[in-house]
């Protein structure tokens, strides 16, 4: 799991703790946790496990142990995650722990029921690609609705407080070690297929959490700020805010344009700025959540 995924998971679960959920909200959360866990079990038992391809984290450890002991992977997924579930309860709260427990139990039951089913493909590349996609969507759904299917990030959060590494760096180290182990347990070609599956899975986690319509923040510094701002408003239908700035070297006062767009609008915005002021300073960054204000797109006539 990437650092931004861990941060979003913490943010989601902490927000849930302070917001009393209605029955409809609770039902919605349960449905998405259920489908996310089912998708993960499909990705594991229909694609990855039969082809000796692993994922990172606790899932990867469980697949290796299942291969070595001939015990179903769902049993290891449940047992190994239990200690981290308790840690998560202490660190994040009851809502997170219950959501995680529900998702883990559904996933374990899913792997048990799907274990006798024949895999859809025995081509390792196809298994890595489609298994990674399905796995990533499932994990992303669970994270988005306040749960977790892997205790690795909880360990990383605790460890990061004692070592000079970020949560994302620690998670990556764990996963590289686990994925590298596949070379000794299976073969090195399977380890490389596992890296493909892992990369695809964590990209799909990002897409599932943030959506295809990911929001981006934009800062523009230009002497033609008014013209650019009006063009963004007229041609993109996005509101802009003019901020006061001061040049660090020159000390001159500057106007800074700030606005929020979607990923699909980024290219068009850049073309607008390039057209009106090729020398303008432009910075674009990812943001995970937008609420309030006038972010809703205005109709363009």
What pLDDT digit, counting tens, does each position of 219-273 carry?
999 999 999 999 999 988 888 999 988 777 777 888 999 999 877 788 889 989 9
- pLDDT of 21 higher than 80: no
Instruction: Choose among 213, 238, 229, 243: nearest CA to 273.
Output: 229
pLDDT of residue 249: 75
- pLDDT of 67 higher than 80: yes
pLDDT of residue 88: 76
Best-predicted range by mean pLDDT among 67-76, 79-88, 289-298?
67-76
Contact call for residues 49 and 63 (beta carbons, < 8 A): yes
pLDDT of residue 273: 93
Contact call for residues 85 and 204 (beta carbons, < 8 A): no
- pLDDT of 17 higher than 50: no
- pLDDT of 16 higher than 50: no
HSE-up of 129 (CA within 13 Å, CB side)?
A: 6
Distance CA 222, CA 281 (A): 7
Q: Which residue shows structure tokens 């994302």?
A: 168
pLDDT of residue 177: 86
Distance CA 47, CA 261 (A): 37
Q: Which domains does the chain have, with CATH numbers?
A: 3-210 (no CATH), 215-287 (3.30.70.120)
- Nearest 5 degrees, angle CA 286-CA 289-CA 291? 130
Name the pLDDT band for 20 (thresholds 50, 70, 90).
low
pLDDT of residue 14: 46
The pair of structure tokens assigned to 23 is: 């029955």
pLDDT of residue 164: 76
The dihedral formed by the CA atoms of 191, 133, 8 and 242, expressed in degrees to the nearest 10: 120
Contact call for residues 193 and 53 (beta carbons, < 8 A): yes
Contact call for residues 212 and 237 (beta carbons, < 8 A): no
31-to-15, 19, 34, 36 alpha-carbon distances in Å: 19, 19, 5, 9
The dihedral formed by the CA atoms of 42, 47, 50 and 55, expressed in degrees to the nearest 10: -90
Strand, coil or helix: 241 = strand
Distance CA 60, CA 131 (A): 13
Query: What are the E-state strand segments in 110-158?
Result: none
Global pTM value? 0.69
What pLDDT digit, counting tens, does each position of 86-143 carry?
887 777 677 888 888 899 899 989 998 998 888 889 999 999 999 999 998 998 888 8
Of the two residues 291 and 87, the one the predictor is more confident about is 87
Of the two residues 151 and 212, the one the predictor is more confident about is 151
Q: Lowest-pLDDT range, 19-23, 63-67, 129-133?
A: 19-23
């Amino acid at each position: 799991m990437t650092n931004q995924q861990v941060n979003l998971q913490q943010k989601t679960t902490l927000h849930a703790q302070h917001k009393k959920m209605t029955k409809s909200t609770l039902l919605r959360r349960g449905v998405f946790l259920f489908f996310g866990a089912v998708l993960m079990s499909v990705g594991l038992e229909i694609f990855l496990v039969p082809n000796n391809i692993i994922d990172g984290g606790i899932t990867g450890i469980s697949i290796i142990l299942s291969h070595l002991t001939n015990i179903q992977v769902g049993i290891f997924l449940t047992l190994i995650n239990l200690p981290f579930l308790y840690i998560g309860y202490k660190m994040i709260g009851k809502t997170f722990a219950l959501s995680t427990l529900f998702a883990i139990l559904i996933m374990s039951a899913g792997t048990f029921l799907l274990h006798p089913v024949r895999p859809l493909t025995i081509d390792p590349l196809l298994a890595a690609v489609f298994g990674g996609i399905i796995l990533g969507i499932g994990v992303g759904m669970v994270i988005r609705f306040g749960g977790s299917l892997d205790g690795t990030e909880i360990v990383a959060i605790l460890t990061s407080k004692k070592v000079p590494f970020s949560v994302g760096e620690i998670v990556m180290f764990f996963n590289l070690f686990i994925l590298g182990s596949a070379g000794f347990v299976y073969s090195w070609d399977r380890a490389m297929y596992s890296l493909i599956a892992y990369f695809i899975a964590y990209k799909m986690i990002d897409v599932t959490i943030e959506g295809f319509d990911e929001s981006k923040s934009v800062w523009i510094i230009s002497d033609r700020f008014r013209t650019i701002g009006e063009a963004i408003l007229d041609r993109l239908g996005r509101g802009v805010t003019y901020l006061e700035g001061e040049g660090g070297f020159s000390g001159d006062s500057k106007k800074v344009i700030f606005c929020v767009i979607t990923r699909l609008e980024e290219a068009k915005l850049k073309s607008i700025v390039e057209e009106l002021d090729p020398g303008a300073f432009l910075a674009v960054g990812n943001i995970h959540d937008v609420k309030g204000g006038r972010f809703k797109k205005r109709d363009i006539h």
